[in-house]
Amino acid sequence: MMHGKQVVLAALLVIVFAGYITMTREMNYLSTEGAHSSQVSQPKRNLPVWFAAPTSLFTSANSECSSAKTQHFATVIPNIVPGQASTYVFKDEDSYYADYRKSYFAVTTKKSGWDCFRHYEILSQGAIPFFIDIEKIPSYTMYAFPKRLVQQAMRLPGVPSEGTVRDLLAKGVNGSQINIDMAIFDQAEYCNLRNKLLQYAREKLTTRALGEYVMEQYNLVRGTNGTLPNTLMISTCSIEYQSGFMFAGLKEVLGPKLSWYPCPKRILYTSSRHTPGGYGLGFGYKAILQTSDIYNSYSQREADSALMTIAETRLQAGQIDLVIVTNGENAFCKLEDFDLGPRTQYIGNLANSLGYTYSRRGSSMSLVHRNGLRNMLNDYLTRNKLAVVATVDGSDIHGCHGTFAEELPRVDLHFVRETEGHVTGQIVEAPITKYSE
């Protein structure tokens, strides 16, 4: 009789081997010679990508608009004036988001890039971003963000101008000291715009919607409709917003079809709910994904190893249909950065600090251990010509940028967060999906 642990592991392996038995996709095994050719093929499509708000964040927003608003502007403000100390005064997530919910507006602006999680947090709580310099955002940056509706709200009678808000912030006031002239403020129109923004954000700006957007682009490349591919996502162990929100969205959409390397973004899972730390104190994204059942039956190390074995089995069987490679932390713009390059010690320290044993010589994925990540991917993609390759540039404007095209035999989709100056050297095109502005 099989015990609980054996049942869990067996069930996971059945998922893999059932797909292997029923696989109908043609396998084209070619020689890997020339996989590292000096000729660089450019990505077939360069598309915008954006941050998102975890789907669970939207559950707190009050459907009633006017009665929920007791404060004109939210307390917290970004660092608009160089050298000015930020007024991040909230130490717990509940009070931080409650402050947004009771506010009509919250000031936000460009920071290290135009796209910031703050914009989405504000919308998710039923407030409206008062976005300094919103008209300067490049067309394809924050492509899905409802810029036009936000601008309409900022221009309502009684709402202070951008110049007035700048002057007040330069004097050191916090957001709660900025006032609307309620004698002329059109509250009915404000609520109309606020409800449109909240509904739009719930439909288009959640992590799930971001995962669905990636799936839509995958299906366009493959000429399929609604297919959910076995996916391998190669990213950092830690959280920076672009790769973190994409990982969360893909996990929501794909479930066990999503595999990872070199480690999962553990802080996203409910098992990390009481773990201290995280970028931005973990507000908004910590513990948003349900921890897999396998971690209830196995130790963390054993469960990680079992899931990595499933990913490797899929690779050996030619069952990975989508490979996603992301940069992260304004670095990791080369495949060698993940396991072979000069940043190995940095990655090892990071992984170990998050509870992983990470070693260049002891990678838990033996295919990588034997060949290196770049060689393994080139071998797999050369033998499996139907597999789609997507790369993600989620860096801030000042970070490293690239497509990974010089290291891979092909890149079908390249997603770019900050398109200012076309930092990747590529022209970004609009996706087929229509987004309201």
Distance CA 288, CA 211 (A): 15
Closest CA to 391 of 227, 233, 205, 216: 233
pLDDT of residue 9: 56
Query: Is the model's pLDDT at 184 over the cut of 80?
Result: yes
Query: Is the model's pLDDT at 263 over the cut of 50?
Result: yes
Mean pLDDT of 112-122: 96
Mean pLDDT of 215-242: 95
pLDDT of residue 66: 79
One-character DSSP codes across 330-351: TB--STHHHHTSTTHHHHHHHH
pLDDT of residue 274: 82
Query: Is the model's pLDDT at 330 over the cut of 60?
Result: yes
Query: Is the model's pLDDT at 191 over the cut of 80?
Result: yes
Query: Is the model's pLDDT at 4 over the cut of 60?
Result: no
Mean pLDDT of 115-132: 97
> Alpha-carbon torsion 357, 362, 363, 364, what sign?
negative
Do the strands 413-416 and 388-393 form a parallel or antiparallel pair, or are they unpaired? parallel
Query: Is the model's pLDDT at 14 over the cut of 80?
Result: no
pLDDT digits (tens, 9 = 90+) for 53-90: 999 999 878 778 878 899 999 998 887 554 444 545 78
Query: Is the model's pLDDT at 355 over the cut of 60?
Result: no
Mean pLDDT of 27-35: 36
| Listed range (41-50, 114-123, 335-344, 405-414) with the worst mean pLDDT | 335-344
Mean pLDDT of 83-103: 80
Query: Is the model's pLDDT at 260 over the cut of 80?
Result: yes
Token reading at 387: 């597999």
Mean pLDDT of 168-185: 93
Query: Is the model's pLDDT at 221 over the cut of 90?
Result: yes
Closest CA to 207 of 144, 159, 138: 144
Q: Percentage of the chain surpassing pLDDT 90?
A: 64
Residue 363 is which amino acid? S
pLDDT of residue 186: 97
More confident residue, 367 or 284: 284
Please enumerate, as own/partner, the contacts of 139-142 that have beta carbons within 8 Å and a separation of 24 or more.
Answer: 139/419, 140/48, 140/416, 140/419, 140/428, 140/429, 140/430, 141/48, 141/113, 141/114, 141/115, 141/417, 141/418, 141/419, 141/420, 142/50, 142/114, 142/115
Mean pLDDT of 359-388: 76
pLDDT of residue 220: 95
Distance CA 304, CA 167 (A): 52
Residues with Cβ within 8 Å of residue 21, at least 6 apart in sequence:
none
pLDDT of residue 39: 58
Mean pLDDT of the residues in the chain: 84
Distance CA 216, CA 309 (A): 28
Residue 189 is which amino acid? E
Distance CA 409, CA 40 (A): 8
Closest CA to 215 of 431, 364, 435: 431
| Listed range (73-82, 128-137, 232-241) with the worst mean pLDDT | 73-82
Residue 284: left if φ>0, alpha if ψ -120 to 50, beta else—which one?
left
Mean pLDDT of 170-192: 94
Task: Please check whether residue 381 is in contact with residue 293, taking contact to mean a CB–CB distance below 8 angstroms.
Answer: no
C-beta atoms surrounding 361 within 10 Å = 6
Mean pLDDT of 181-195: 97
pLDDT of residue 85: 47
